A and B are shown apart, each in its own frame.
Chain A
Amino acid sequence: MHDKHNKDAIEKSLNRYKKERDWFAFLLQAAEMMDTPEGKLQVKLLRILIDSKEKVIDCSENGKPFIAAYYCTAPELFTAMDLPWFMIMETPFLAASAPYITEDLEGTEEIGLGTDLCTAIRLPIYYIETGQMPVPTAVIGLLSPCDGTTMLQQVLRHNSAWKNVPLFSPDPPYSSDERAIKYFANELRQMVRFIEEHTGHKLDIDRLREVCEESNRCYSLWQEYNELRRAVPCPHGWEIGGAQAFAVSQCFKAGDPRCTDWFRQLVECGEEKIKAGRGANDYAPERIRLLWFDIMPYGWIFEFMPWLEFEWGAILVTDMFSNFPYTLIDTSSEETMFHDLAKRNLMDVPMIRQARGTAENFSSDIVRLVKDYKIDAVIWPGHMGHKDGAATAGIMRATCRDIGVPFLHIGLDLFDRRYTSVDEVKDKVSQFFTGMGLG
């Protein structure tokens, strides 16, 4: 009876997860029909993604250890420990365009969560509270960049099905100096000990070195690719090379040769387009070079991003998630690896970099990206969950004024089209471009 109850609970916890896998399998089928280099990149990426989901399903169904964690909790360590993992906020980050999302968003409201809580936090809470998220062997929690993430871990711990699942959350300091890096490196070491204790998977330092070296190759190629995006016209827009690069490097299996191979192919693809003098969209010549300074609007991306290109020739040249001065890991010793993993996950990775600490990185990143990428306009979407960013809007506006680039703050929900309708967003963007004489 007890076993049957457990089996039912596991099956229920995997329902939504499997649906998500099936959604990606559907996208894979569509991508396989695209006979272009970009289409091949999508295919490769979706295969890595589906494979990572299959591994988690296998672990959950067959009682093998796996963990729930985040992209910014040093995923190289999970790879080195040969430990399958999934991101607790995977759905809003990767699958918010799935057809069942609106139904789930309504579910978050029904369980009584305040609608001003970030949608990316509410969705996983809803899945946890309704038994629709695979219950892992252990959880690595996230305490930055926002208040919502801190509360997500606490609601998770409060839930009856999760309260006995061991949880460790590395504590990110607010400051960004050597003392902060050392402190966070110590938190990562504690995290490793915690994982070893609760999963039985051990960290082999030589294996970590291999993974970090592979991860470095990946990041170097990414950096090379980002140089290509400086070209006018930009070889790629929103469809490839931005969010996917982030996902490949950090969300599935950091330090996996397949990911490096994906980046290699991405660089080749970009180079070929530049040589041919082709821009991101053959049917919509580049007229506006755009910095979208946040996550992409995954909940309604297919209705908005193509419109930007076709209606305005506005090409998303770069965004918050695809362009950072990433630190490569010094693999000379265990100490240097932990130090640099701490630095990368505290000071480099998207969103944590800007929102964890003081507002300086909001301004300095805007200035750097506008200059390096010949940006014509900066859009801060003003996602309803990004409250520290909302309180930085004045600073971003002043920064853009100082460097003479138009700035738009919209106010929307990146995952929920009901918050500000897609038509309203388009209208605001059109008024902005018109008012600024762009396009």
Chain B
Amino acid sequence: METNLTSSAFKELAAAASGIMNPAVDDWRSRGGKVVGYFCSHVPTEVLMAAGILPFRMRGTGSTGTELSDAYFSSINCSFPRHTFNQALKGEYDFLDGLLCISSCDHVRRVYDNWKQNLPTPFIRIMSLPKKVGDPQVAWYREEIQILRDELGKHFGVEISDDRLREAIALRNQTRRLQRQLYELRKREHPPISGAETLAVMVAGSSIPAEPYNQLLRTLLDDLAQSNGSREYRARLMVVGSELDDPEYLDIIEGQGGLVVTDSICYGTRTMWVDVDETAADPVGALARYYIQERPSCPRMNGDQARRSQFLQDLIREFQVDGVIGERMLFCDFWCAEHYMNKVDLKEVGIPFLQLDREYILSGKGQLRTRIQAFLETMGR
């Protein structure tokens, strides 16, 4: 990823995002800290934090092939779980003390089944995430979180009290607020940080403990506060889609003159646009409400498409977006149909939309550049 940022905090964050293992995790483990990997931004990481466990969001960063996981998955499966499971089979995730899966999508939920049969990780669990956003679903998810709380407590020998949950919620909210401040800077005419650089910062946030992350983020915000970006651009873009953890993908888009100023992706606004209620008497209930009803949803949550569409339009207005790129991993049914609807909705409000299908690891860079150039040209930029 090309960067002009000289901030040492940024460099540390970008380094954490560029691989799986990083010095902060090493340090955490050397002090006896436990690490639990998790898939999907609907996992209530606050419960892990309250148990004194480092939540580590699963990625396939650094993967170059799926030679091992191909024995379990098929060619019509999304390349994200295939690469990530391949990394696990190669031993890259041997440092995990546990794995927390969720019924997120048809591809990722099967990592749980294959992992359970093939890898000896001591604690492995899958959560049942509802597919609607009503009150009965909040009640169901509250029970799921409570079960997780009990099982984590039992397995790791810790008591996860309400107070500890509240502290974890407050700490995680602090992260969200700092991340929103970072996004606020991107509303400027010349943002001091690019889309690719922001993504690296966001990815790092799910790979290192919250306290040092928040400290690095504060330093970075101080470093950026007075500066303006020098990057010239042809259009302000928003990226919408699913699991995207590779800053280089956005770097290519930005290399063609399309500055990515905001997003609705699994590492972006959807994880931090609103906070969990810190004042609720029942912190478990607050988490359930947040993950089911309050945070911006993803297409797997049925009956919420109109709200999602409105969320995009609000971001477009706030960040003065000229065009939207809908990225989608091949074989993803959720985003296939969601982008089909996004295209219609955005056309109605006069916002150009480009859909890009991709593999998890960056390939076809030349083709990507051509598509972006053509998109910017059709926008008259």
B309-343 interface with A by 8 A CB criterion: 328, 330-334, 336-338, 340-341, 343
Partner of A150 from the list B134, B137, B334, B343 (CB cut-off 8 Å) is: B334
* Complex CA–CA separation, A187 to B140 (angstroms): 12
* B87 → chain A closest CB, angstroms: 16
Classify chain B: how many residues form its interface, as a range.
Answer: 35 or more
- Which residues of B are found within 8 Å of A355, using beta-carbon distances? 106
Q: Does B72 sit at the interface, judged by CB under 8 A? A: yes
* Complex CA–CA separation, A387 to B357 (angstroms): 17
Q: Does B371 sit at the interface, judged by CB under 8 A? A: no
User: What 0/1 pattern do residues 69 to 81 of B give for CB contact below 8 A with A?
Assistant: 0011111111001
* B290 → chain A closest CB, angstroms: 18
Q: Does B109 sit at the interface, judged by CB under 8 A? A: yes
* Complex CA–CA separation, A355 to B107 (angstroms): 11
B131 near A151 with CB under 8 A, answer: no
Partner of A391 from the list B72, B131, B303 (CB cut-off 8 Å) is: B72
Q: Does A359 sit at the interface, judged by CB under 8 A? A: yes
* A391 → chain B closest CB, angstroms: 3
Q: Of A144, A148, A158, A391, which is in contact with the most chain B CB atoms at under 10 Å from its CB?
A: A391
- Which residues of B are found within 8 Å of A169, using beta-carbon distances? 131-132, 302-303
Q: Does B105 sit at the interface, judged by CB under 8 A? A: yes
Classify chain A: how many residues form its interface, as a range.
Answer: 35 or more
Partner of A174 from the list B76, B103, B117 (CB cut-off 8 Å) is: B103
Q: Does B370 sit at the interface, judged by CB under 8 A? A: no
A116 near B331 with CB under 8 A, answer: yes
Q: Which stretch from A61-69, A96-104, A175-183 is at the chain B interface? A: A175-183
B132 near A147 with CB under 8 A, answer: no
* B151 → chain A closest CB, angstroms: 13
- Which residues of B are found within 8 Å of A437, using beta-carbon distances? none
* Complex CA–CA separation, A158 to B129 (angstroms): 23
B107 near A387 with CB under 8 A, answer: yes
Given known A-B contacts A112-B340, A146-B333, A171 and B132 have beta carbons under 8 A apart? yes
A146 near B106 with CB under 8 A, answer: yes
B337 near A390 with CB under 8 A, answer: no
* B316 → chain A closest CB, angstroms: 19
* Complex CA–CA separation, A358 to B328 (angstroms): 25
Q: Does A117 sit at the interface, judged by CB under 8 A? A: yes
Q: Does A208 sit at the interface, judged by CB under 8 A? A: no
* Complex CA–CA separation, A54 to B323 (angstroms): 48
B305 near A394 with CB under 8 A, answer: no
Q: Which residue of A lies closest to B81 (CB)?
A: A391
A154 near B132 with CB under 8 A, answer: no
* Complex CA–CA separation, A117 to B340 (angstroms): 12
Partner of A393 from the list B72, B105, B127, B336 (CB cut-off 8 Å) is: B72
* B14 → chain A closest CB, angstroms: 32
B302 near A154 with CB under 8 A, answer: yes
Q: Does A392 sit at the interface, judged by CB under 8 A? A: yes
B117 near A398 with CB under 8 A, answer: yes
User: What 0/1 pattern do residues 141 to 159 of A give for CB contact below 8 A with B?
Assistant: 1011011101111110110
* Complex CA–CA separation, A315 to B331 (angstroms): 33
Partner of A382 from the list B74, B117, B328, B333 (CB cut-off 8 Å) is: B74
- Which residues of B are found within 8 Å of A121, using beta-carbon distances? 333
User: What 0/1 pattern do residues 361 to 401 of A give for CB contact below 8 A with B?
Assistant: 00000000000000000000010100110111111001000
Partner of B136 from the list A150, A157, A187 (CB cut-off 8 Å) is: A187
Partner of A141 from the list B76, B105, B129, B302 (CB cut-off 8 Å) is: B302
* A264 → chain B closest CB, angstroms: 39
Q: Does B130 sit at the interface, judged by CB under 8 A? A: yes
Counting from the closest, the 3 A-B pairs by CB-CB distance are: A394-B72, A391-B110, A151-B337
Further pairs besides A154-B341, A358-B112: 15, Cβ < 8 Å: A112-B343, A116-B331, A141-B302, A146-B106, A151-B337, A151-B338, A153-B302, A154-B303, A154-B305, A155-B341, A174-B109, A183-B140, A387-B77, A391-B77, A395-B114
